[in-house]
Amino acid sequence: MMQNKCDTQNRVQVSIRNLYFFYGEQLILEDISFDIERGDFLAIVGPNGSGKTTLLKIILGLLKPAKGSVTLLGSDVTSLSCWHLIGYVPQKATHVDPLFPISVAEVVGLGRIAAKGFPRWLTQKDKEAVFRALEQVGMASFVNRKISDLSGGQQQRVFIARAIVNNPRILFLDEPATGIDSTAQEEFYDLLDRLNREHELTVVMVTHDIGVVNKHVNKVACLNRRLVFHGTHEEFCSSAEARSLIPGEHHLVAHRH
């Protein structure tokens, strides 16, 4: 079989075509098609149960669609070879078994190990990457603590560090700020902005936070089983149908940059 190369230079980094997904008999996603471009900061919004998490899991190959296809970095998701270029912070990542005695450094280090060939141990370079990722989320001083001894918000920040430890090209986040206090949230969104602008990291974030949509993103996808809207933030602001899906939409103002 041909080795799949991953193309990070293409303008289109994620291509979703005619996706259908069912849980049992229930149609969850219907005919979803759109592209995510290099450098996009995309918000996926929509009511509870509208299929946002399901869509992310399909994009990441964790669920198989009934119909349709996903292409990541030029390669079909079913045969992708460069998972180290993809970061993922799942919704409610913080279900930590209190009896599992793993340190913060080890949790983030797992992100390095997962992307390694043989030998699977951490080099000095890996340890530096772990420390740098923890610094970026403001958790460097917790490096030797047990993950189970941290608060929920601190754990969430560690999971975010794990997702960025390999300097991914695309970062998927499913309501990442849940449980994080507002100061840490601002720092976290500023970090995403910085990675997005300075390192051309493509960011795809499920969120219910209209303030974040206003302040940080350049593209919006509104899901309600179907893709109700996909476009730029400016287009989103002038689409009454799209805005009606988010509570607090009356606070919308187009003022990014």
Give the binding range for ligand ATP (CB under 6 A) out of 51-59, 116-124, 134-142, 146-154: 51-59
Query: Of 54 and 155, which has the nearer Cβ to ligand ATP?
Result: 54
Of the residues 53, 94, 185, 214, which one makes contact with ligand ATP according to CB under 6 A = 53
Of the residues 52, 112, 162, 230, which one makes contact with ligand ATP according to CB under 6 A = 52
Give yes or no for residue 72 binding ligand ATP (CB under 6 A).
Answer: no
Check whether the bond before 119 is cis (ω within 30° of 0): yes
Give yes or no for residue 202 binding Mg ion (CB under 5 A).
Answer: no
Give yes or no for residue 207 binding Mg ion (CB under 5 A).
Answer: no
Q: Least Å distance between CB 112 and ligand ATP?
A: 29
Give yes or no for residue 53 binding Mg ion (CB under 5 A).
Answer: yes
Cα–Cα distance for residue pair 172/205, rounded to 1 Å: 6
Instruction: Kindly write out the interface string for residues 89-118 of this chain, putting x where it contacts ligand ATP by CB under 6 A and - elsewhere.
Output: --x---------------------------
Q: Torsion angle of alpha carbons 124, 129, 131, 132, nearest 10°? A: 140
Residue type at 17 in one-letter notation: R
Give yes or no for residue 207 binding ligand ATP (CB under 6 A).
Answer: no
Give yes or no for residue 71 binding Mg ion (CB under 5 A).
Answer: no
Q: Least Å distance between CB 235 and ligand ATP?
A: 22
Give yes or no for residue 54 binding Mg ion (CB under 5 A).
Answer: no
Cα–Cα distance for residue pair 30/223, rounded to 1 Å: 10
Query: Of 51 and 176, which has the nearer Cβ to ligand ATP?
Result: 51
50 binds, among ligand ATP, Mg ion, none (CB under 5 to 8 A by kind): ligand ATP
Query: Of 53 and 196, which has the nearer Cβ to Mg ion?
Result: 53
Q: Least Å distance between CB 174 and ligand ATP?
A: 7
Give yes or no for residue 23 binding ligand ATP (CB under 6 A).
Answer: yes
Q: What residues line the site for ligand ATP (CB under 6 A)?
A: 23, 28, 46, 48-54, 91
